[in-house]
């Protein structure tokens, strides 16, 4: 959940094994690794957290997302199936129609 909106839901193995929303990916990259010396690609979020009383237009996370593009600033993504029982609200997960 980010600023009061669910951005990803799924089974534990789906979320931890392959997060599909950039915010989930950043959160999981911050989890300590129990093995000393283990390498982890830590995602450091930049930008300011928007005010919950003045939410940005479009995706609520776009002000801090390194993958944000123009559509993210205009249109709020909806929760979509990314796998059986796994949903995420991110334009990056949309499959272009042929």
Three-state DSSP class for 1?
A: coil
Q: Is residue 61 part of a domain?
A: yes
pLDDT tens by residue, 9-65 = 999 999 999 999 999 999 999 988 887 777 778 899 998 899 999 999 999 999 999
The more confidently predicted of residues 95 and 70 is 70
Residue 43's domain spans which residues? 8-93
CA distance readout (Å), 92 to 32, 43, 67, 82, 95 = 27, 17, 8, 11, 8
Q: Is residue 3 part of a domain?
A: no
Q: Is residue 98 part of a domain?
A: no
Q: Is residue 43 part of a domain?
A: yes
Instruction: Assess contact for 28 and 11: CB atoms under 8 A.
Output: no
| Strand arrangement, sheet containing 86-88 | 8-9, 86-88, 80-83
């Amino acid at each position: 959940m980010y600023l009061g909106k669910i951005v990803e839901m799924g089974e534990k193995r789906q979320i931890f094994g392959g997060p599909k929303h950039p915010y989930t990916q950043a959160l999981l990259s911050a989890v300590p690794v129990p093995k000393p010396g283990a390498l982890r690609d830590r995602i450091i979020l930049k930008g300011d957290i928007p005010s919950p009383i003045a939410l940005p237009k479009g995706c609520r996370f776009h002000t801090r997302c390194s993958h944000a593009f123009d559509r993210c600033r205009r249109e709020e993504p909806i929760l979509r199936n990314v796998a059986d029982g796994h949903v995420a609200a991110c334009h990056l997960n949309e499959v272009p129609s042929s």
